[in-house]
Amino acid sequence: MEMIGYKGFEKGLIGYDGMKFELGKIYVCDGIIKFKDNGFHLCKNMEDVFKYYTNFDDEISVCLVKGSGEFDKGEDNYYGYYDMYAFEKLEILKELTEEEIIKYALDLYRVNHDEFRIKRFLSTYKLKKEYISLFEELCKNEMDVLKAIDYYQKGKTNVYKKNK
């Protein structure tokens, strides 16, 4: 099987285990492929990549990748994360720019009108101030998205408090 998806790295295309990756190279994993245990991980949806980077101050690189060969699928139904995989082979196709990441997220709303996925993106990806205003303008009629912006991007913790 082959799949195009997204993978996060520390700056310089460094994996969690310290392995250095390069654009255009194909990497092969030995052994039985098992999600979370063995294999090269990727996410079908970019916003799911950020689940693995909980510190907003971390500088990460997001790449478009191709997984192939044996694979195992992982899911976290409780938190709504799906379409995560471990593959036997991984090719790094392209390192995405910040602008490409932002366009992807804006298109979740513009093209797909997918509030669930855009809220997941907003909950894990730290936007610069100029990008916050883009999201606010685009989603100005979507109260749930605006609340997510206020809470996750601006730190307004009272947004989700119950009224007495």
User: Is 159 inside any structural domain?
Assistant: no
- Do 45 and 108 belong to one domain? no
Name the average pLDDT for the chain.
89
User: Is 29 inside any structural domain?
Assistant: yes
Residue where a domain stops, chosen among 44, 61, 95: 95
d(Cα 65, Cα 72) in Å, to the nearest integer?
A: 16
- Do 44 and 110 belong to one domain? no
Instruction: Say how many C-beta atoms besides its own lie within 10 A of residue 48's C-beta.
Output: 24
pLDDT of residue 72: 93
- Do 30 and 91 belong to one domain? yes
pLDDT of residue 71: 96
Q: Do residues 100 and 73 touch, judged by C-beta distance below 8 A?
A: no
- Do 82 and 111 belong to one domain? no
What pLDDT, in 10s, does the model give residues 114-128? Answer: 888 899 899 888 899
Residue where a domain stops, chosen among 69, 95, 121: 95
What pLDDT, in 10s, does the model give residues 95-154? Answer: 999 999 999 999 988 888 888 889 989 988 889 999 999 999 999 999 999 999 999 999
pLDDT of residue 56: 47
pTM, 2 dp: 0.87
- Do 8 and 80 belong to one domain? yes
- Start-to-end Cα distance in the chain: 53
pLDDT of residue 65: 98
- Beta pairing, strands 60-76 & 2-10: antiparallel
Q: Do residues 73 and 92 touch, judged by C-beta distance below 8 A?
A: no
Identify the domain containing residue 37 by its residue range: 2-95
- Do 83 and 113 belong to one domain? no
What pLDDT, in 10s, does the model give residues 33-86? Answer: 998 899 999 999 998 888 777 654 567 899 999 999 999 998 766 555 567 899
d(Cα 74, Cα 85) in Å, to the nearest integer?
A: 6
d(Cα 130, Cα 14) in Å, to the nearest integer?
A: 28
Number of domains the chain contains? 2
- Do 91 and 110 belong to one domain? no
